[in-house]
Structure 1
Amino acid sequence: MNERILWQETLPGSSTWSHILKRGTALRLTAIDDAPNVGVILLNADNFSERMSLPDALKAQHLARLTAGVALYSDMGRILCSITEDTVGWHDPLGGCSDDAMVAAKYGLSSYQQSRNAWHQSGLDGFLIELAKYGLSARDLMMNINFFSKVEVSDEGAMRFVPNNAQAGDAVELRAEMNTLVILNSCQHPMDPSRDYTQKRVELTLKQVPAPGPDDLTRNSRAENARGFIMTERYFL
């Protein structure tokens, strides 16, 4: 089966979005502006109690950054999505998301009633807004990915945000290995030192893609991933 584009749209800066990404489809994120940030959380769309576990994914694959060939595991040891393509090379799984207090302290108060679409929304609010659409709440939150952003960790354990990690035209693609609820927001990274509240656009492309074969990059990148694919495929028998 060849790849086929199913849907495209532009996600404005500091906005939220969600979709149930079906097994056999992929979501491609393409930066329209330089230095965007896209916070993402994932849940099993058929059983919301199963959700992405970044600690398990990082531990199983012995890494602290995300790029092509990395599997995004659930807390049940299955693979929700694989990163199949990436032009950036480093996406942040450690920095978390901003909350209202952080945004107000850094950028000042700005409500929707005052500023309309230019209001100062936090990443946390964005996640909660989308979770509520599926009957979920703060208890369903988890560690989030920050696509297009880079956070380095020193030998002493200090974390440092690296500005301008991605440029316009850069892209990363997630292939759904399960029916996956994808929730994302395009708010700034919480560690971004800029005092300006900026809104960076990202293009979203939904695609129909072939199933992973025996020579799949993610399946073969680590022995742990081969076992994760077996666990996932058995789930659908």
Structure 2
Amino acid sequence: MSDESVIAENRRRYEELKRAGQGHAPRALPGPSPRGGVPLDEAAILHRETVPGGWYWTTALKAGEALRIALDHGPSSVALVAWSAKDPSERLNYADTVKVQWTAALRKGRVLFSDMGRVMLSLVEDSCAAHDALMGGSNTASNAARYPGGPHRNTRDNFVLAALKSGFERRDIPACITFFAPVSVGPEGRLAWNEAGRAAGDFVDLRAEMDLTVALSNCPHPLDPAPAYAPNPVAITRFRAPQPAADDLCRTATIEAVRGFENNAFAGL
């Protein structure tokens, strides 16, 4: 069988499984949140943090709390990994996040899945929908190949430090999702960077659906073509999210999300 025939058969099978998996038409997702941020109730704010360019940050995030990650100081890319606080062997799974929702395009209304089929985080606000769930973060080699005068801090080493600080080991670090990384996939499967997809003032709000340990890394994405290593600081706000309504978009947008939240309920999360 030729390569073209294999590709065509795999595509046919994928579309068949997608139709069977979705079962019914998903809810239409809204447009982006307004750049600059949806105002937060000051009484709901629990903590503010500024993560300098090149650095990392870790936090405990209780179910019902949320993180706002905001590009208040200019464009940057922020990689994220997460572990269940109840059972740290359960962790973010970016491959399942893509497969289960049948899309790598993360945006308002989508959710982030664990490797146990449960929902860890909901994307309740998002101003740009320009996030990378395919390539992962930078490492020593990718930085050395792109930036002279190093070494420079990178996402892999940042997550090693974050994991050790949180009582984990290197083997406990899952693959990351990178926010504000405008990566697109061309018709031949090549990844490309579109800087116009993000701007100062962009932000995301991530609501925790279980108790979590979260680590963030503020380092340039490996595909970012900027010639200088100069990531901007990133503003982080941890706050109490409003109680989700019965028709909450993230919980009802797709049948896959509904099943993920049913798994949460079954596990008592």
State TM-score, norm by structure 1.
0.91
1:44-93 residue CA offsets vs partner (Å, 9 max, x unmatched): 11111001111111111111121111110001111011010011122111
Whichever residue aligns with residue 216 of structure 2, its letter is L
SS in 2 for 1:29: strand
* Number of residue equivalences: 229
Give the structure 2 partner of residue 95 of structure 1.
Answer: 135
Q: Is residue 2:211 matched to residue 1:214?
A: no
Distance 1:110 1:2 in 2: 41
Give the structure 2 partner of residue 128 of structure 1.
Answer: 160
CA contact (8 A) 2:130 2:198 kept: no
Higher strand fraction: Structure 1 or Structure 2? 1
Give the structure 2 partner of residue 116 of structure 1.
Answer: none
CA contact (8 A) 1:34 1:166 kept: no
Whichever residue aligns with residue 185 of structure 1, its letter is S
Distance 2:44 2:57 in 1: 22
CA root-mean-square deviation: 1.7
Q: Is residue 2:140 matched to residue 1:108?
A: no
Choose which of 42, 64, 82 in structure 2 pairs with 1:24: 64
State TM-score, norm by structure 2.
0.81
Give the structure 1 partner of residue 29 of structure 2.
Answer: none
Choose which of 116, 137, 141 in structure 2 pairs with 1:76: 116
Distance 1:217 1:4 in 2: 21
Q: Is residue 2:145 matched to residue 1:145?
A: no
Give the structure 1 partner of residue 233 of structure 2.
Answer: 201
Whichever residue aligns with residue 250 of structure 2, its letter is T
CA 138–164 in structure 1, closer or farther in 2 if over 3 Å, else same: farther
For structure 1, the residue ranges without an aligned partner over 5 or more in a row are 112-119
Q: Which aligned runs of 4 or more in structure 1 are off by greater than 3 angstroms?
A: none
1:174-207 residue CA offsets vs partner (Å, 9 max, x unmatched): 0000001111110000111122001211110011
Identity %: 38
Q: What aligned pairs does 1:23-62 form with structure 2 within 5 A after superposition?
A: 23-62=63-102
Q: Is residue 2:199 matched to residue 1:167?
A: yes
